[in-house]
Structure 1
Amino acid sequence: MSPKGSPVCLLGHGNYCNERCSSTEVYSFLRKAMRNVSADNPFRGPKEFVEGDYIYRDSNKGELGKFVGKETISFANEVVYSLHYSGGFIK
């Protein structure tokens, strides 16, 4: 938000959770991964976050002004969740 309360950045996304995906468990794990975002990669979560059999991975390109990326969550070496996202500054 700008000092005047207007949005300055937009993030759009679309996700997929397969039939083996427990949305409760996956989204609980995703929230943990999101808490580990770094200043040098501020788009979604960290490049990688592991807890038990769950692995979160994020790859992206661009800058805050214009970016695209994909995040995945694997459970027991199978991708159970994926999300494509894009965003940037609003002009």
Structure 2
Amino acid sequence: MGEYTLRYLPLAEQDLSEIMNCIQNNLENPIAAENTLSKRDFDLKIATLHRLRNKMDKKLIEFLIKAKRKTYAGKGSETASSREKSHDLVYRENNFMYYDTYLGGEKFAGEEALWIADNPYWSMNYIGRVTGENFNVDFLKEALLNVPFEKPFRGPEKYEDGRYEYKCSINGNFDWFQGKEIISFCGKEVYECYFHGGLIK
């Protein structure tokens, strides 16, 4: 296992999917990895894997934010429906692909997902509804354009424009998270959405 990892670390840019699977296997099964290495080599290997994982996650998050701004939040064009009456938006860049698909309108459910070299890596499911009058979808998209790097799932913790207010609360991190967003108009809630997601293995 140690030889495999060290042999492939320099090739991270050539086969992202294989590298990320290797990192997950090693970090999620440290006992098995430790049994094959000395304590010093094991600590060095885990530190190296963490650095590589952080580097790859940073690139993924940068791509995810860019993809969100190019698709639904940025009023991007829809692609062919993957299911009957579904709304689908896709963005690709090098080995990365982002896919957002949802059903419905005032009451909706959908999924966003990331692929690395044609292999699914991360996903988020969401379900929401309009709960009152004066909901403005353009305000929602405006809030979603401000997706934060630290929590790149929906919009910022708080965003305001005139009489509209957007709030988003999240528990967890990129690996495993849950959250809720709401929009209020003049202090009265008019929209809510729940979401959750994480890494895929």
- Tell me the equivalent position of 1:35: 145
Which structure: greater helix fraction?
2
Structure 2 gap segments, 5+ residues each: 1-114
Structure 1 gap segments, 5+ residues each: none
TM-score, normalisation: structure 1? 0.88
Using CA pairs below 8 Å that are at least 6 residues apart, which structure has the higher relative contact order? Answer: 1
CA contact (8 A) 2:151 2:173 kept: no
TM-score, normalisation: structure 2? 0.42
CA contact (8 A) 2:132 2:189 kept: no
Candidates 175, 180, 188, aligned match of 1:65: 175
Provide the C-alpha distance between the structure 2 equivalents of 1:35 and 1:79, rounded to a whole number of angstroms. 21
- Tell me the equivalent position of 2:156: 46
Structure ID, larger Rg = 2
Runs of 4+ in 1 over 4 A off after TM superposition: none
Distance 1:69 1:56, change over 3 A: same
Q: What amino acid maps onto 1:17 in structure 2? A: V
SS at match of 1:14: strand
Q: What amino acid maps onto 1:55 in structure 2? A: E
Percent of aligned pairs sharing the same letter: 33
Candidates 176, 184, 196, aligned match of 1:74: 184
SS at match of 1:67: strand
Candidates 115, 118, 121, aligned match of 1:8: 121
- Tell me the equivalent position of 1:83: 193
In the alignment of these two chains, the number of paired residues is 87
CA contact (8 A) 2:132 2:191 kept: no
